[in-house]
Amino acid sequence: MRQRSLTVRLTALFALASTAVLVGLGLLIISTVAKHFTDQDEQLLEKELELIRMVVNERGAAAITGTFGEALHNHPGFFVHISSSNGQPLYSTLAGATEPILAAAASSRSFTVATGGHQKFQAIKARLKDEASGDNLDVIVAVDTDIHDHFMRNFQTTLILYVAGSALIVVLLSWWAARRGLAPLRAMSDKVQVVSAHNFGERMPVETLPIEIADLAAKLNAMLERLQRDFNRITNFSSDIAHELRTPITNLLTQTDVVLTQQRTNEAYRDTLSSNAEELQRLARTISDMLFLAQTENGISLPSHEPLSLQDEVAALFDFYDALAEEKGVRLLLTGEASIKGDRLMVRRALSNLISNAMRYTPAACAILVSIEKSESDILVHVENDGPEIPAEYLPHLFDRFYRADKSRTKLDTDSAGLGLSITKAIMRAHQGEVAVQSGRGKTRFTLRFSGMLG
C-alpha cells in the first residue's frame, strides 16, 4: 500500500484542526444567540406579568378583559391566559394552544412548549391575589418564538455555508503552506539525487534551512563526509592493490616468458621456479593481509580472550628475531611487565610488526628497546629504536594501507607491502586500544595503548 505524502498528511491535519475550531466556534455562536433570545423573551414575559399584577392590584380581575384586549393588539405574538383558583378561565388568548400550554404549566413555572400547529411558545406562570374579591388568579403569559426560530434557522444555514466555505479555503491554504514549508526537504532531496561516485562534493545548505531541518541536514552532511572518506579510501585501496599485485605478477610473467623463449638447463628452470615461488609467497602474504584488513572494516571479533603476559610475548619474539639481530649487530632490550586479556596470535602479530619495522631501520651497533608501563587505566608498550627520523609530514599517514615514507617503493632489503602498521592499528582497535608514533632526536617510538582489556 502506497503511503500518503507528508504534504497530504499535513494538509489533512491542518484542515481537520481548523474545521474543528470553526465548527466549535459556530456551535458557540448559535448557543449564545439562542440563549440571548431566550433571555430576551423571559425579560419580556416578566414585564408583562408585572403589568398584569399592577392591573389586578389597582382595578381588580374584572378590569382584565377590557384592559388586555386593547393592549395585546400592540404586542403580536404575545398571549395571556388567566383563570381563577378553581380552574375557571377568566381571560385567554391562547386559542388552540391552551391545552398543551396548561399541561406544561402544571409541572414548571418557566417552560417552552410546541403545539400541534407547529408553533412554539415560551411561557411563564404565576399566582396573583385579587384584593377586591379575595380570590387567587393563575396567570400564564406566553410569547410565540417563531420569529426567533426563523432567524435561527437562517442563521444556522448561513453559518454552515460559511464553515464549509472556510474549510475549503483552509484546505487550499494548508496545502499551500505545507508545500512551501516542505520546500527545504525537496531541496535536500534534489541535492541528494545528484550525489554520485563522481560527485561527492554536494552538501546540504545548512545555513539557509529552518532550525527544525538544519540538524537533519547537518547529519546528512556528516554522513556524506563519511561516505566520501570511505569511498576515497576504497578507491585508494583498490589502486594500491593493483599497484602491489602488478609488480610481482609482472615479474612472474617476465621471468616465465624469458625462460620459455628457448631451451634451458634444469638448473635454470629450478632458479626460475625458485624466484617465482618467492614472488608467489609475497603475493600470498599480501592477499592474506588484505583479507584481514577487509574483515576489520565491519568490526573484527577476537577469536579468544585469554590472559597474556606481555613480557613473555615480547621475549618469545626476541628469540625469533635474535639471529637476525645478531647478524645486523642490533641489541634487543626489554623492560617492565604487565598482563592483558586478548588474542595471543593477534597481539603477537602486532608486536612482531613493530619489532620487524624497527629491525629494518635500526643501524648496526644500536638498540631496539621494548618497554612496558602499567597504570591504573592503561598499559603502554613502547617499541623504540635508534635510526633515521621519520619526517613530521609522514607521521599522520604511517598507518594508512600500503603507505610507505619511501615513495619509490623500491627498497631492496624488504618485501613489505606496506600493510604491517595498518594491521597493527586494526588489531589494537579490536582490543579497544590504539597505536601512536613519535619520531625525533634520532629515535622513533611506536606505542601500543591497551585500555579496555587489562589483565
Domain tally for the chain? Answer: 3
Mean pLDDT value of segment 184-194: 77
pLDDT score for 417: 58
0.75 exceeded by pTM:
no
pLDDT score for 239: 75
d(CA 118, CA 144): 11
Domain boundaries, position 259: 208-296
Residue 324, pLDDT above cutoff 60: yes
Q: Is 404 left (phi over 0), alpha (psi -120 to 50) or beta?
A: beta
Flag whether 189 is in a domain: no
296, 331, 365: which is the final residue of a domain? Answer: 296
d(CA 146, CA 185): 58
C-alpha cell at 309: 603476559
Compute CA distances 220 → 155, 189, 196, 215, 216, whole Å.
Answer: 55, 11, 15, 9, 6
pLDDT band at 76 (very low <50, low <70, confident <90, very high): low
pLDDT band at 246 (very low <50, low <70, confident <90, very high): confident
Percent of the chain past pLDDT 90, that is, above it, reads 20
Are 252 and 279 a contacting pair, CB within 8 Å? yes
Flag whether 455 is in a domain: no
Residue 347, pLDDT above cutoff 50: yes
Residue 95, pLDDT above cutoff 60: yes
Indicate whether 262 and 321 sit together in one domain.
no
Residue 236, pLDDT above cutoff 90: no
The pLDDT tens digits of the residues spanning 365-385 come to: 899 999 999 887 899 999 999
Indicate whether 312 and 439 sit together in one domain.
yes
Flag whether 240 is in a domain: yes
Indicate whether 284 and 317 sit together in one domain.
no
**CATH at 92:** 3.30.450
Indicate whether 144 and 54 sit together in one domain.
yes
d(CA 132, CA 409): 136
Indicate whether 416 and 441 sit together in one domain.
yes
Indicate whether 275 and 324 sit together in one domain.
no
Flag whether 121 is in a domain: yes
Flag whether 182 is in a domain: no
Lowest mean pLDDT among 135-144, 201-210, 345-354: 201-210
d(CA 343, CA 334): 21
Indicate whether 368 and 398 sit together in one domain.
yes
Flag whether 176 is in a domain: no
pLDDT score for 436: 93
Indicate whether 142 and 277 sit together in one domain.
no
Indicate whether 106 and 228 sit together in one domain.
no
Indicate whether 44 and 151 sit together in one domain.
yes
Indicate whether 128 and 216 sit together in one domain.
no
C-alpha cell at 220: 546528512
Residue 332, pLDDT above cutoff 70: yes
Mean pLDDT value of segment 23-29: 91
Rg (the chain; Cα; Å) = 51
The pLDDT tens digits of the residues spanning 259-289 come to: 888 888 888 888 888 888 888 887 887 777 7
**CATH at 271:** 1.10.287
Mean pLDDT value of segment 241-263: 81
Number of neighbouring beta carbons within 10 Å of residue 336: 16
Q: Is 202 left (phi over 0), alpha (psi -120 to 50) or beta?
A: beta
Buried b (16+ CB within 10 A) or exposed e, 93-121: ebeebbebbbebbeeeeebebebeeebbb
Contacts of 124-127 with CB under 8 Å at 24 or more apart are: 124/42, 124/45, 124/46, 124/49, 126/49, 126/53
C-alpha cell at 271: 632458479
Taken in order 91, 93, 96, 102, is the CA torsion positive or negative?
A: negative
Flag whether 193 is in a domain: no
Q: Which residues, 6+ apart, have CB-to-CB distance to 381 below 8 Å? A: 310, 314, 351, 370, 371, 372, 373, 447, 448, 450
Indicate whether 12 and 161 sit together in one domain.
yes
Residue 411, pLDDT above cutoff 50: no
**Hey, what's the torsion of the CAs at 156, 160, 163, 169, to 10 degrees?**
-140
